[in-house]
Structure 1
Amino acid sequence: MDIKQLKYFLAIAKEKQITAAAKKLHIAQPPLSTQLRLLEEELGTSLLERGSRNITLTDAGKILFTRANEIINLVESTKKEIDDLNHGLNGTLNIGAVTSSISSIIPEQLKLFHSQYKRVNFQIWDGDTLRITELLRNNTIEIGIVKTPFDYENYDFILIPSKISTTPMLAITNSLLSSNKLSIDVKALADKPLIVHRRYEKKITVYCEEHGFKPSIFCKADDIRLMLALAYDNIGVAILPKSNLDSLSIEKLRPLEINGLYMDTSFAVIWPKNHYLSNTAKRFIESFTQKNPEEI
């Protein structure tokens, strides 16, 4: 198995046709089919299921697809690191950012950094905190910009102080809670099945226990849209910070503030502990502690 074979396999998997993959790779179809056959023989398993029109991945193929992407990204990252070492700050910096930071943080930071390092280009990957940490783990990106809290044990980080905010926690329901007000006491949740985000589980549990009961957590999830869907179906009460709902529709759902329960949220720049960082990534991290020339 070599890098070229992995690239060929990825092209076939993405194009879903050997003919289309060969065309994209600018090679003839027979050599591509030969390399695929050699790869399957080496691994001792079929990687593709050939249908009448399109190719689909076998279970083994799906595993290789994930690993091949990681390997290719790691190889490209290594090349960039060596080039960075030999030639200084240039090339492309891969950054992951939660969607809410795209308009509030990324533009000004890229502008500041580009004013100092003209030869650096960027690739921005967006998603929620869970996706950003996944991209960091498989070396697709070097740096992530996420919202707190996150997995502090596995990442080094710096907080972005100017972006810290306090937001009320909401109990979001279809009809499991009855209240004529816009807020409720936390004790109203004592006998309700709760749907909580893993990032906020500890905070919610501690607050409930301080008020005399252990919360009944029906479901822990990472996807806010799934939590809202479960709340809409009256499966439980979703507990989320108000700031998480800024860009989401909660039509037909009732958001009630939980009296006294707030979440301090801020943005943080994170990167894996004990992991090589290119000089470009290091300088970009340092740029968050610098003053924008326009502010001086």
Structure 2
Amino acid sequence: MNFRQLTYFMAVAEELHFGRAAERLGVAQPPLSRQIKQLEDELDTLLFHRGRSGVTLTQAGKRLFERGTEILSLMDDSKREIRRIGQGMQGRLRLGYVGSAVYGVLPTIVKSYRAANPKVFLSFSPMNNAGLQQALIRREIDIAIARPRLIDKEITSRPLGDEPLILAAPDTMFPGSTAIDCHDIADQVLVLYPEYPRPSFADVVLQALATQGLTDPKRIFTMDVSTSLGLVSVGEGVAIVPASVGSGTRNGIRFHPFASNIGTTGLSVSHRIDDQSVHVNGFVDVARMVARRSLS
């Protein structure tokens, strides 16, 4: 049984008249009758009683009509669903991000995207830059929010804006101070992240300090910004973080700007060059719009 046969059967079942069904379908009656006969032969059962008083459905025909109604309804639903996915109104989007992004513009981006696309399912995976790059290439995620950006011939990356580096220090350190000279932390243990793989945000921090003459600070490594802040809060060292990380309060930590700007760091939104789906392009557009609004 093919779709044409089912369509012809449904028309005859609804009209209970071969002539009217043929007219409705825009076909001649003989081909319609042949299709119905072929269907009955394939199913080895009569679907219609053909009598002098007219055409009626057999018991098998009634059951096929019920099933056919379900099938055509499912097909209509499927077409609407596929169309909505193709238009970006439904579907899913897999998002990978560096941990520090959650302190900045990322939550606002997600909120804005959800507001415009409430039926698109979003999944989230925190990763470092190396993980983001690998996951994009392997098609395990669709979007990467990286710091500062991903460089790969298969990936396109767009900046979302820069922000200054600031100091996260235990709240018992530098009492009464606001702006800090970077040489004030020369004897402190620097908490960096991540240690592997490199290069990473840790190298951004080390290079920023090197430009200020601090070339070999005492250091320990963690895997992410949250762990780094946790160590700072218990007095294990200080950390240099993006300014957005200091936008909230955290027990045991005070955030200080540097008296002289030691450098900046930026976020970017990336995706595979060959992925031009409505979902990906829509998210990138929202991300850039929100980032521009945030900077302004």
What TM-score do you get using the length of structure 1 for normalisation?
0.51
Partner residue of 2:217? 216
2 CA distance for matches of 1:142 and 1:261? Answer: 35
Aligned residues: 196
**1:174–1:231 contact (8 Å) kept in structure 2:** no
Name structure 1 gaps, 5 residues minimum: 1-82, 115-119
2:252 counterpart letter in structure 1: K
Partner residue of 2:258? 258
**1:195–1:219 contact (8 Å) kept in structure 2:** yes
Partner residue of 2:139? 139
**How do 1:98-247 residues align onto structure 2 when only pairs under 5 Å count?**
98-99=101-102, 100-101=104-105, 103-109=107-113, 114=117, 121-126=119-124, 128=126, 130=128, 133=132, 136=136, 139-144=139-144, 146=145, 148-153=147-152, 155-160=155-160, 164-173=161-170, 175=172, 177-178=173-174, 180-198=176-194, 199-247=200-248
Q: Give the structure with the larger strand fraction.
A: 1
1 CA distance for matches of 2:188 and 2:105? Answer: 34
2 CA distance for matches of 1:214 and 1:102? Answer: 33
Please say which of residues 103-112 and 188-197 is displaced more in the overlay. Answer: 103-112
**1:169–1:242 contact (8 Å) kept in structure 2:** yes
2:210 counterpart letter in structure 1: E
Alpha-carbon deviations, 1:127-186, whole Å to 9, x = none?
A: 545398275465342123x253144347421224xxx353441141355x4454222211
Deviation at 1:218, TM superposition (A): 1.7
2 CA distance for matches of 1:237 and 1:290? Answer: 32
**2:148–2:265 contact (8 Å) kept in structure 1:** yes
CA 1:192–1:288 in structure 2 vs 1: closer, same or farther (change >3 Å)?
Answer: same
Deviation at 1:220, TM superposition (A): 2.9
**1:167–1:241 contact (8 Å) kept in structure 2:** yes
| 1:156 aligned counterpart, secondary structure | strand
Q: Which has the larger radius of gyration?
A: 2
Deviation at 1:245, TM superposition (A): 3.4
Partner residue of 2:38? none
Partner residue of 1:92? 91
2 CA distance for matches of 1:290 and 1:181? Answer: 36
2 CA distance for matches of 1:256 and 1:285? Answer: 33
**1:169–1:263 contact (8 Å) kept in structure 2:** no
Alpha-carbon deviations, 1:79-128, whole Å to 9, x = none?
A: xxxx989x95465131316534454223434555x5xxxxx942212354
| 2:183 aligned counterpart, secondary structure | helix
Deviation at 1:288, TM superposition (A): 5.0
Deviation at 1:268, TM superposition (A): 2.5
**1:221–1:227 contact (8 Å) kept in structure 2:** yes
| 2:226 aligned counterpart, secondary structure | helix
**2:192–2:220 contact (8 Å) kept in structure 1:** yes
CA RMSD of aligned residues (A): 4.0
2 CA distance for matches of 1:156 and 1:202? Answer: 23
Deviation at 1:267, TM superposition (A): 4.2
